[in-house]
């Protein structure tokens, strides 16, 4: 009886240990975002040539998670490099601009690669990689319109001007004297429609987007300034948004450092060239 009891107790202890081990393994497998072999990147897929939505995988388009559509553009090409160096599968998570930072801080995505500037205000909430693009601020206007020959931002005195919501583009409009500052808009598609219809006379943008808008619509043109907006380097630069103290920062910076300025410009030129006409 005693021998049988010892055997029974031994078997019971073994079963407990095995169950405990299984429980631990299950918990570890759940992990956090990115630990499942994927690199989840958030972007709008509506800010050509940085990122856009398309219907197939042409020109390097990547399937959007949970969607029949694909994402393409400069940001997508840069994100591919990061994913490859990380040894992970790139997953594109299409997210509205205002939802990008919350998606990152909640762990829904691993990084924001969406033409985002590393402003001091954003740095209070998230970290950023080194810059992967730098651009100038310009204005997009109607071709042949009243403001086509502007050389100074002050030439837009009395003009109806807007920019994207929750961007520094909108705040710099205040530098124009007596400007009619219209309500900020959610995205660039809405601003292009507003410009086409005459609701606004122009919108503030970065040079690549303005070149893209002009290429996509013959009625638009870009105005560059000799006397332009006063901005800081952080505002005109673009970097990858990352969670505070992210383990990915150093690895991503290493990837970015390996992409020369010439190569970055070539990637941007190609993105402008192959963007969907509707963007």
186-208 pLDDT, tens digit per residue, is: 999 999 999 999 999 999 999 99
Element (H, E) at 20: helix 2-30
CA atoms of 271 and 274, how far apart (whole Å): 5
pLDDT at 242: 98
pLDDT at 73 over 90: yes
Domain ranges of the chain: 38-134+235-274, 137-223
pLDDT of residue 4: 42
Note whether 256 and 111 are within 8 A (CB).
no
Rounded distance between C-alpha atoms, residue 203 and residue 162, angstroms? 5
**Residue for token digits 């049988």?**
4
Closest CA relative to residue 147, chosen from 48, 230, 225, 47? 225
Q: What is the pLDDT of residues 117-145, one digit of tens each?
A: 999 999 999 999 999 999 899 999 999 99
Task: Work out the mean pLDDT of the chain and round it to a whole number.
Answer: 89
Split at pLDDT 50, 70, 90, the class of 278 is low
Percentage of the chain with pLDDT > 70? 86
- Dig out the tokens for 107 from the structure: 């762990």
pLDDT at residue 35, as a whole number: 67
Tell whether the model's pLDDT for residue 32 goes beyond 50.
no
The fold for domain 137-223 equals D-Maltodextrin-Binding Protein; domain 2 (3.40.190)
State the Cα–Cα distance between residues 100 and 229, nearest whole angstrom. Answer: 26
Q: How far apart are CA 219 and CA 213, in angstroms?
A: 9
Task: Flag whether pLDDT at 12 surpasses 80.
Answer: no
How far is Cα of residue 149 from the mean position of the Cα atoms in its chain? 31
One fold for 38-134+235-274 and 137-223: yes
DSSP state at residue 184: P
Cis check for the bond before 31: say yes or no (omega within 30 of 0): no
By C-alpha distance, which of 105, 102, 90, 112 is closest to 43? 112
Residues 154-195 have pLDDT tens digits of 999 999 999 999 999 999 999 999 999 999 999 999 999 999
Q: What is the mean pLDDT of residues 73-83?
A: 98
Report pLDDT for 36: 82
pLDDT grade for 276, boundaries at 50, 70 and 90: confident
> For residues 267 and 262, what is the distance between their CA atoms, to the nearest angstrom?
9
Find where tokens 């402008």 sit: 272
Q: How large is the angle between the packed helices 188-197 and 207-216, nearest 10 degrees?
A: 50
pLDDT the model gives residue 37: 95
| pLDDT bucket at 279, cuts 50 / 70 / 90 | low
Strand partners, 70: 54, 63
- Give residue 34's pLDDT: 55
| Stated pTM of the model | 0.77
Between CA 175 and CA 209 the distance in angstroms is 21
Q: Which CATH superfamily is domain 38-134+235-274 in?
A: Periplasmic binding protein-like II (3.40.190.10)
Give the long-range contacts of residues 179-186, CB within 8 A, separation 24 or more: 186/96, 186/97, 186/98
State how far the alpha carbon of 236 is from the alpha carbons of 13, 116, 137, 228, in Å. Answer: 63, 9, 7, 13
Judging by beta carbons within 10 Å of its beta carbon (0-12, 13-18, 19+), is residue 129 exposed, middle or buried?
buried
Q: Decide if 73 contacts 51 (C-beta within 8 A).
A: yes
**Between 35 and 128, whose confidence is greater?**
128
- Position 39 pLDDT exceeds 50: yes
């Amino acid at each position: 009886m005693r021998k049988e009891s010892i055997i029974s107790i031994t078997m019971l202890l073994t079963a407990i240990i095995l169950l405990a081990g299984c429980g631990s393994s299950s918990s570890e497998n759940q992990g956090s975002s990115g630990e499942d072999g994927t690199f989840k990147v958030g972007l709008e897929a509506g800010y050509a040539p940085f990122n856009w939505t398309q219907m197939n995988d042409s020109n390097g388009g990547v399937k959007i998670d949970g969607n029949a559509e694909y994402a393409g553009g400069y940001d997508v090409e840069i994100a591919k490099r990061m994913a490859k160096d990380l040894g992970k599968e790139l997953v594109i998570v299409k997210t509205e601009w205002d939802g990008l930072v919350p998606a990152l801080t909640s762990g829904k995505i691993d990084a924001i690669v969406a033409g985002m500037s590393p402003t001091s205000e954003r740095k209070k909430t998230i970290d950023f990689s080194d810059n992967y693009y730098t651009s100038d601020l310009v204005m997009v206007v109607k071709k042949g319109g009243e403001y086509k020959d502007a050389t100074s931002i002050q030439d837009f005195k009395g003009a109806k001007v807007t920019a994207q919501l929750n961007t520094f583009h909108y705040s710099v409009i205040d530098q124009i004297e007596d400007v009619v500052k219209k309500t900020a808009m959610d995205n660039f598609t809405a601003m292009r429609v507003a410009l086409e219809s005459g609701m606004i006379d122009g919108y503030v943008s970065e040079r690549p987007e303005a070149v893209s808008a002009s290429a996509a619509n013959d009625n638009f043109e870009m105005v560059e300034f000799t006397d332009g907006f006063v901005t800081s380097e952080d505002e005109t630069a673009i970097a990858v948004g990352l969670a505070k103290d992210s383990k990915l920062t150093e690895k991503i910076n290493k990837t970015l450092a390996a992409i020369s300025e010439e190569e970055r410009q070539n990637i941007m030129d190609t993105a402008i060239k192959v963007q969907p006409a509707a963007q």
